[in-house]
Amino acid sequence: MRSNPGTCAVWPAVAPVLPVHGGAGRIVAGELDAARVAAASRGLHASLMAGMAVLRDGGSALDAVVAAVAILEDDEQFNAGRGAVLTVGGGVEHDAAVADGATRRAGAVTCVNGVRNPVRAARAVMDRTPHVLLSGDGALELARREGLELAPTGWFVTARRQKQLATLQRGCRVESEMTGGTVGAVAVDVEGHLAAATSTGGSAGQLAGRIGDTPLLGAGTWADDRSCAVSATGDGEAFILSVFAHEVDALVRLAGLDLGAACDRALQEVSARRGTGGCIGVRPDGTVAMPFTSPGMFRGWIDAAGNPRVGMFAGDLCQ
Ligand code: ASP
């Protein structure tokens, strides 16, 4: 399957750079109602502004992607933090990861319920523990110890996601407006360092304890200053089996492919496993790629003139 180009361009030597995504899925023009389009656009816009404010102040790519993702976690339009999808039993299980291209360090949490911004817990794993991935109660305990903001289950569960779960349990197809929603950001800072962050509630109606690609470093999230930063979204199992984000990195770093070609090639591996989805990626020179094989992917970027731009469907290009 050929991927939609989404966006692939080299910005004319403008650093910093920060594309974000709000998930891939059956996001089809004409099926999404105007209110949903407007709400998702507002969220992506706010995320871009938050991340770019960090970068324009000379902050690190790592701080910027965490700031951008935290905004989307708080926005119930997206499948992360508040408003994330529910497990088959109606439970809340959040996954998140951060990766720092400068140090090639990373941190992640999985199956966590109770941390308002799981991406901040992932950052705490990286910064404050010798570990890379913490799950469930251990991740919650770390967040509490580090003074991160906690929230009760009811704060995360929205009527929209309860309706989605009920629809799935009746064996019906969920509407376009309920698909997509995992969030992510990648960035290049003024020093040319890269970072990536991804956060999700997983896939709607998943078994309790299921872990997708998002918190698995090298699958859904990766950053290495020698090549690229990548945040993925889509059918997590196919992305895990493709070791997707590291595949993109290896194709750039070892095989010498340009970023767009590397993402396309890695998405072919996902397609070969009957998965669809997409990713956002950046290189230290400001190259950006946002391809996807799903019908659409919520995505936002700052264009060469410094203006925030948002795309959802296959035809929405940046140039
Ligand atoms: N990749 C995520 C997961 O499998 C879901 C998504 O991106 O929509 O958990």
pLDDT in tens, 184-200: 999 999 999 999 999 99
Q: Name the band, by pLDDT with cuts 50, 70 and 90, for residue 175.
A: confident
pLDDT in tens, 147-174: 999 999 999 999 999 999 999 888 887 7
Average pLDDT of the chain is 92
23 Cβ below 6 A of ligand 1: yes
81 Cβ below 6 A of ligand 1: no
* Catalytic residue status for 182: yes
- Determine the distance from the C-alpha atom of residue 148 to the mean position of all C-alpha atoms in its chain, rounded to a whole number: 21
Pocket test for ligand 1, best of 94, 111, 182, 242 (most atoms within 8 A of CB): 182
Pocket test for ligand 1, best of 109, 213, 276, 298 (most atoms within 8 A of CB): 213
Q: Which is the closest atom of ligand 1 to the Cα of 239?
A: 1
The residue ranges of every structural domain in the chain are 6-307
Question: Which pLDDT score, from 0 to 100, does residue 304 have?
Answer: 74
pLDDT in tens, 189-239: 999 999 999 999 999 999 999 999 999 999 999 999 999 999 999 999 999
pLDDT in tens, 254-272: 999 999 999 999 999 999 9
Question: Which pLDDT score, from 0 to 100, does residue 5 have?
Answer: 59
Question: Which pLDDT score, from 0 to 100, does residue 229 have?
Answer: 98
pLDDT in tens, 108-153: 999 999 999 999 999 999 999 999 999 999 999 999 999 999 999 9
Single-letter amino acid, residue 180: G
User: Are the beta carbons of 185 and 18 closer than 8 angstroms?
Assistant: yes
Distance, CA of 42 to CA of 275 (rounded, Å): 29
Q: Write out the CATH class of domain 6-307.
A: alpha beta
pTM of this prediction exceeds 0.85: yes
User: Are the beta carbons of 32 and 309 closer than 8 angstroms?
Assistant: no
User: Are the beta carbons of 106 and 100 closer than 8 angstroms?
Assistant: yes
Q: How remote is the CA of residue 208 from the centroid of ligand 1, in Å?
A: 15
The catalytic position among 7, 87, 182, 198 is 182
Does 28 score more than 90 pLDDT?
no
